[in-house]
Amino acid sequence: MKIVKNARGVFFGGLGLFLFVFWVTYFVLPTIAQDKYEVGVKSSVEAVKVKPFVATHVSTPNTVKGVYMTSWVAGTPSLRANIVRLLDDTELNSVVIDIKDDTGRVSFEVWNPELKVYGSEDVRITDLRDFIGKLHEKNIYAIGRIASFQDPYMVKKFPDLAVKRASDGGVWRDRKGLTWIDPGDKEQWKYLALLAKESYAAGFDEIQFDYIRFPSDGNMNDISYPHSAGRIKHEVIKDFFAFLSQELKPTGMKISADLFGMTTTNPDDLNIGQVLEDAFLYFDYISPMVYPSHYPTGFHGYKNVNSVPYEIVKISMDSAVARLKTFHNTVASTTVEFRPWLQDNDYPVPYTSEMVRAQIKATYDSGLDSWLLWDAGNTYTRAALLDE
């Protein structure tokens, strides 16, 4: 009987232990785990609510000294490091980064649902918001560049908005084979304004508009503008300038315009719709592209424009400054400032540090103190830049 009693005790003792383990395993632990999960989820949600992305911005430097960076370089840390090093070690304090280049593709992830529907993203800069934040920690001014009307992506998506061939109504192409949106199309205007606002919200301090014009090359004898028909080109572009100012200035962002270099010396619109004075009331900064290589042989009597980079820039910016003074005195007061694009690329001849520096000196001698350097390959001449 004692053995049997002990066996029953072991049996019931074992059964009790089994039931206890079963209860803990299937009822207690899951409850604890669920509580921890819910607490974790709640904490994560609260963390997201407490720390949403908020763009930082830095003020425009008194003297902007910047370089251009493609979206491909900006999206490749090993490549952009070279330019960041220049920003750290030299007088440079600003960088211009492509938001939308001449392919029409947007270089970073947009969050605005209104922009998402266009599908124009080609996310080349996966960490754009973080990258701009790091630039701001160094007090680097970030300018976002938008190619406005040269836009093959939008033409493919909305061919009715395109510049057309007059002969058969087909989509017109320039000499590079690129397609254009008719500058008079106001749907593109709205799209560009939305993109500018999204880019400012992502951290860019200034939005710079390029290709704000009608096409300049290709078969100009077989071209038509369905959305600008019957209108004077420069009036279409001026209306676009006014629209940008009205839409964007209230946000607090700075906006700038890239113009052909010869707008500073030509009184007409160069058949592309750009008249220098038309931009004075609507932008914070104007950047004439006074690359010596882009001037025609014989400009002001110079047979070899690349041999006189100082003279080309000085003539151009002296004229720009004089025209702004006249406008200010006779038409309307304006606070716009000039910030020319200068050449630092080897087209059609190698540009030495002396040639780059000569353009900078010409800018200063015209009474200006800000400039930007352009090289599509993003290989800038270190010897042309002063140490920090």
Residue 343 pLDDT exceeds 60: yes
Residue 124 pLDDT exceeds 70: yes
- Residue 68 is which amino acid? Y
Mean per-residue pLDDT for 44-63?
77
Give the separation between CA 129 and CA 153, rounded to whole angstroms: 24
CB 73 within 8 A of CB 80: yes
SS3 35: helix
Residue 147: phi, psi to the nearest 5? -80, 115
Give me the pLDDT at residue 52, please: 85
Give me the pLDDT at residue 47, please: 45
* Of 232, 284, 277, 221, residue with least CA distance to 254: 284
- Sequence spans of domains, the chain: 1-39, 65-384
Bridge partners of 97?
Answer: 69, 144
pLDDT in tens, 182-241: 999 999 999 999 999 999 999 999 999 999 999 999 999 999 999 999 999 999 999 999
Give me the pLDDT at residue 5, please: 40
Q: 16 CB contacts (<8 Å, ≥6 apart)? A: none
pLDDT-based confidence at residue 8 (cuts at 50, 70, 90): very low
CB 53 within 8 A of CB 81: no
CB 136 within 8 A of CB 169: no
CB 179 within 8 A of CB 187: no
Q: What is 65-384's CATH number, 3.20.20.80, 3.30.930.10, 3.90.230.10, 3.90.1580.10?
A: 3.20.20.80
pLDDT in tens, 345-360: 999 999 999 999 999 9
Give the separation between CA 372 and CA 66, rounded to whole angstroms: 5
Report the phi/psi class of residue 162: left, alpha or beta, with left for phi > 0 and alpha for psi in -120 to 50: beta
Mean per-residue pLDDT for 361-388?
97
CB 95 within 8 A of CB 69: yes
From residue 101, give the alpha-carbon distance in Å to each of 96, 98, 108, 378: 12, 6, 12, 15
Give me the pLDDT at residue 27, please: 53
pLDDT-based confidence at residue 13 (cuts at 50, 70, 90): low
